[in-house]
Amino acid sequence: MSKVKLTTVDFTGTKQQEKELREKLAEIKNMDGNLMPALQAAQGIYGYLPIEVQKIVSEELNVPLEEIFGVSTFYSQFKLNPTGKYAVAVCLGTACYVKGSGDILSRLERELKLDAGGTSHDGMYSLEATRCIGCCGLAPVLTVNEDVYGKLVPDDIPGILAKYQG
């Protein structure tokens, strides 16, 4: 299993979000197999699953926090960190990988001082590795929000990041 990176970004959930989540959990509390729908609902409300939210799910469904944490970290559909203002994603699909996207990701980790899966403390950047995004002709590819950059070499990274500051 890959390393789990918990966020260092302060939790900013609101009372309204908590109320909405508790109401949703009350509805499905007695349903069989309710953990996945509960986590999907929680992620829908908060955008990710910080430990504070996992605790609410644990309390309401009466499921140990360890189990919730295990499920949240096992399935790639669940995010433990919020998306940064600039969401940087590197494709590690086969075409990109054979053309060096592993080196692109390493360079980004160094430049952003973030591991893949992490979000910077100020919430500006998040970094992810993704599957094929359908631009294999441009391999290796990365995206920053909706912008796509292709045919990259590691030395392209500082110039790309310079466009996304402030």
Residues that bind ligand FES (CB under 6 A): 91, 93-96, 132-136, 139, 141
φ, ψ (nearest 5 deg) of residue 106: -60, -40
Task: Write down the least CB distance from residue 101 to ligand FES, Å.
Answer: 7
Looking at residue 102, the DSSP 8-state letter turns out to be H
Q: Which is nearer to ligand FES, 20 or 156 (CB)?
A: 156
Task: Write down the least CB distance from residue 38 to ligand FES, Å.
Answer: 33
Q: Which is nearer to ligand FES, 71 or 89 (CB)?
A: 89
Q: Cis omega before residue 140 (within 30°)?
A: yes
Contacts of 47 (CB under 8 A, 6+ apart): 79, 82, 83
Nearest Cα neighbor of 88 from 136, 152, 11, 40 is 152
Task: Write down the least CB distance from residue 77 to ligand FES, Å.
Answer: 20
Q: Which is nearer to ligand FES, 24 or 99 (CB)?
A: 99
